[in-house]
């Protein structure tokens, strides 16, 4: 009751900030969905209506002038002002309802809290349901992001039913992060009161029609967020900085992805481009189509064309490339503190306008959130950049070691701008290996996508069998089976390694351990796996690498690289480690890192290491959590200059996995692997 009471107080406080006394102009405009020409269309006031919209409430005059017709909000905050202004401009509004998320601590198992939230939303619906600018209601935003409780969809349906009872004139939807089968199935079975689906997709926008068809969704939908390649989707530097597209690259992908999906799918009723404004999210320029000063980048030109069929009279500058030390962002740039490096931008204006170039240096943002949560903008660092000409200058690397990002803005004097940035890393001292810019092949040189059925591919995998070396050196309690469909099976596009409670070889459990030895052996590279982990005390899944020829002798002399380990008694905490003669868990000196990752047993996550001659770095869902450098001493510290191979296994018990006992009620327990991939280290 304490939690519910605090929630009620919070919701009542929110109501204080809902403006009162607004004068509605006119009557509600009836909005429905009609099946037509093998697809669907919105009928608004009896006329077909296709959403040409944007997320955000600033620059509404420009949106109208450029051919847009709708805006989308994330909450009812300042809804009076927004709806009235939209009505004056002839725009509509999909009004967001700020439904609480599990990732922010809301408990959908708490019926009192759920009921209080619904009652708060009832007041919002009654307040705005008759406004003539209202088009649709959006229940929450990305409620499926990092969630585990499907009761959220019962709450969504309850809210949708209530809306229809109170407001028969407008559409109701909920906004999903991405497209996957589980959520689509939940929406179909648990949310019949929704009128349509809303999805939010970035790099994968072009494939949305195909993805929805594969999930069995053949009903109407809208795309309520779409934009550049997301910071989680593209290339990352070895220190974990995402590489952002230039404004010119963004313009190209916005146009091509829109035309391939939203512009042609008859089930799509329109979209809201993101973001019609500006915000800090990883960088100040990543998602906003405007700068903080209100300048418009080239994507605004693209939206003008997509909405109106014509380009603006004066177009934004087009930035071709941006170089630091004669290198691009994808070259993974390391600089030495205090040294000076050249910078140059290649940019042109299609109208021949004279361009003004400005530079900005920021430390890499550390206030990293998810789901669009508010992030603080890093402060600009002054005095490090000097212009030598309009399009070039010099950068003096800061003395403080760490991650930075250099921005360039090219303005045409007509409120248009081109933008780009380069992340770089400053080292206070550079040796001949640590300062190198390492990168990897864009496609795997070896992989198993598990897109077949039956036993694992014998051309890639063999088996460790039995229970050697006193439970594989760790007092593990399982017997590893060879080519047993009940323990290692490829099915439904994933490898399933299952541990069972059954006697074999003097052990009380069976499981499987796959190895690519002599079938997939590599020195250096990017090693990546996507996996969903078993749940339960006593499980110990792992994805790791061992030396193929044991160049420096038995363990730990020749090394070990652990890409992923998890023990069931410490749910959702994942580990990445390396072991050598000098640094290993036997003497408690191992190099290791861990991270709490919500839902590792509920959905797939990505686990990866980048192994180079200079370092090994480990990542979970593209975020770096582990780093060990080559100290350039001896094999005792760095035996990682020889072939290693994959191992994938699910152990039971053992010195670590069984530290708090084994819960026999969890068996059978299954470890699922979607793929494993190796990318070559490029010289």
Q: C-alpha 678: how far from its chain's center?
A: 21
Name residues whose C-beta falls within 8 Å of residue 100's C-beta, 6 or more positions apart in sequence. Answer: 7, 106, 117, 140
Nearest-angstrom CA–CA distance, 619 and 55: 32
Strand partners, 49: 42
How buried is 621 (Cβ within 10 angstroms: 0-12 exposed, 13-18 middle, 19+ buried)? middle
DSSP secondary structure, 145-188, as one string = TT---THHHHHHHHHHHHHHHH-TTSEEEEEEES--HHHHHHHH
Helix, strand, coil percentages (3-state) for the chain, rounded to 5, are 20, 35, 45
Q: Structure tokens of 312?
A: 């603006």
Name residues whose C-beta falls within 8 Å of residue 346's C-beta, 6 or more positions apart in sequence. Answer: 319, 320, 321, 322, 323, 391
Strand partners, 362: 380, 405
Determine contact, residues 499/510, Cβ cutoff 8 Å.
yes
Nearest-angstrom CA–CA distance, 251 and 232: 19
In the set 225, 560, 624, 637, the catalytic residue is 560
Nearest-angstrom CA–CA distance, 97 and 160: 11
Nearest-angstrom CA–CA distance, 322 and 329: 8
Q: Structure tokens of 665?
A: 């009620």
Q: Structure tokens of 134?
A: 């209202």
In the set 116, 281, 296, 565, the catalytic residue is 565
Determine contact, residues 676/646, Cβ cutoff 8 Å.
yes
Q: Structure tokens of 343?
A: 């910078």
Q: Structure tokens of 75?
A: 């909450």
What are the distances in angstroms from CA 186 to CA 137, 138, 163? 20, 17, 20
Nearest-angstrom CA–CA distance, 130 and 166: 10
How many helices, marked H, and strands, marked E, lie in the chain?
11, 40
- Report which secondary-structure segment, H or E, holds 637: none
User: Is 476 one of the annotated active-site residues of the chain?
Assistant: no
Q: Encode 635-647: b = buried (16+ Cβ within 10 Å), e = exposed.
A: bebbbbebbbbbb
Q: Structure tokens of 561?
A: 């690289």
Helix (H, G, I), strand (E, B) or coil at 392: strand
Report the relative pairing of strands 333-336 and 417-427 from DSSP bridges.
parallel
Q: Structure tokens of 87?
A: 């009505």
CB atoms within 10 A of CB 287: 25
What are the distances in angstroms from CA 291 to CA 36, 294, 296? 40, 5, 7
Determine contact, residues 270/52, Cβ cutoff 8 Å.
yes
User: Is 336 one of the annotated active-site residues of the chain?
Assistant: no
Determine contact, residues 324/341, Cβ cutoff 8 Å.
yes
Residue 580: half-sphere exposure toward Cβ, Cα within 13 Å: 21
Report the relative pairing of strands 669-679 and 446-448 from DSSP bridges.
antiparallel
Helix (H, G, I), strand (E, B) or coil at 267: coil
Backbone angles phi, psi at 222, to 5 degrees: -130, 160
Backbone angles phi, psi at 346, to 5 degrees: -110, 110
Residues taking part in catalysis: 560, 565
């Amino acid at each position: 009751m304490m939690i519910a009471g605090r929630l009620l107080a919070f919701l009542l406080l929110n109501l204080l900030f809902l403006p009162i006394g607004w004068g509605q102009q006119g009557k509600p405009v009836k909005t429905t969905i009609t099946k037509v020409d093998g697809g669907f269309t919105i009928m608004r006031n009896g006329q077909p209506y296709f959403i040409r919209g944007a997320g955000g409430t600033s620059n509404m005059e420009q949106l109208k002038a450029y051919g847009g017709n709708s805006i989308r909000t994330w909450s009812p905050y300042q809804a009076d002002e927004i709806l009235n202004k939209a009505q004056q401009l002839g725009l509509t509004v999909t009004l967001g309802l700020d439904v609480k998320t599990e990732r922010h601590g809301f408990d959908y198992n708490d019926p009192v809290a759920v009921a209080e939230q619904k009652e708060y939303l009832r007041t919002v619906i009654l307040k705005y349901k008759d406004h003539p600018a209202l088009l649709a209601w959006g229940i929450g935003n990305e409620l499926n992001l990092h969630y585990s409780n499907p009761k959220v969809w019962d709450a969504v349906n309850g809210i949708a039913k209530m809306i229809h009872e109170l407001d028969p004139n407008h559409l109701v939807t909920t906004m999903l992060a991405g497209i996957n089968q589980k959520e689509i199935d939940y929406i179909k079975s648990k949310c019949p009161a929704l009128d349509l689906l809303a999805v939010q997709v970035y790099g994968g926008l072009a494939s949305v029609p195909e993805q929805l068809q594969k999930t069995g969704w053949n009903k109407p939908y809208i795309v309520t967020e779409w934009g550049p390649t997301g910071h989680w989707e593209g290339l990352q530097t070895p220190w974990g900085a995402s590489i952002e597209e230039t404004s010119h690259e963004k313009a190209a992908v916005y146009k091509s992805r829109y035309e391939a999906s939203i512009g042609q799918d008859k089930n799509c009723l329109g979209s809201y481009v993101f973001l019609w404004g500006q915000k800090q999210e990883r960088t100040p320029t990543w998602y906003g189509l405007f700068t903080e000063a209100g300048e418009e980048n080239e994507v605004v030109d693209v939206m003008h064309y997509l909405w109106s069929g014509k380009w603006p009279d004066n177009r934004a500058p087009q930035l071709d490339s941006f170089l630091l030390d004669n290198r691009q962002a994808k070259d993974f740039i390391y600089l030495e503190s205090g040294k000076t490096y050249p910078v140059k931008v290649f940019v042109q204006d299609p109208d021949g306008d004279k361009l003004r170039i400005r530079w900005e240096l920021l430390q890499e943002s550390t206030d990293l959130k998810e789901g669009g949560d508010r992030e603080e903008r890093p402060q600009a660092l002054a005095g490090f950049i000097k212009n030598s000409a309009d399009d070039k200058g010099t950068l003096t690397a800061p003395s403080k070691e760490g991650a930075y990002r250099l921005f360039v803005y090219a303005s045409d004097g007509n409120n248009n701008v081109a933008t780009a940035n380069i992340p770089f890393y400053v080292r206070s001292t550079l040796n001949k290996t640590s300062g190198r810019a390492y990168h990897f092949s864009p496609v795997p040189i070896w992989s198993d996508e598990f897109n077949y059925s039956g036993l694992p591919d014998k051309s890639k995998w063999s088996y460790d069998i039995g229970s050697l070396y006193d439970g594989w050196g760790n007092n593990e309690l399982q017997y590893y089976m060879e080519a047993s469909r009940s323990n290692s099976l490829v099915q439904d596009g994933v490898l399933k390694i299952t541990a069972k409670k059954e006697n074999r070889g003097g052990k009380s459990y069976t499981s499987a351990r796959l190895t690519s030895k002599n079938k997939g052996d590599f020195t250096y590279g990017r090693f990546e796996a996507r996996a969903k982990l078993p749940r339960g005390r006593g499980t110990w899944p792992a994805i790791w690498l061992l030396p193929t020829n044991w160049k420096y002798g038995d363990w730990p002399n020749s090394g070990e690289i652990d890409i992923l380990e998890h023990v069931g008694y410490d749910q959702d905490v994942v580990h990445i480690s390396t072991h050598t003669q000098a640094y290993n868990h036997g003497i408690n000196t191992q190099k290791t890192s861990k991270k709490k990752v919500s839902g590792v047993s509920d959905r797939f996550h990505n686990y990866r290491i980048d192994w180079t001659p200079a370092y090994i770095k480990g990542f979970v869902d593209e975020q770096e959590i582990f780093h060990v450098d080559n100290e350039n001493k001896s094999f005792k510290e760095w035996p990682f200059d020889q072939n290693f191979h994959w191992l994938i296994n699910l152990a039971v018990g053992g010195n670590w996995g069984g530290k708090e006992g084994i819960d026999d009620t969890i068996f059978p327990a299954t470890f699922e692997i979607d793929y494993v991939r190796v990318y070559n280290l490029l010289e």
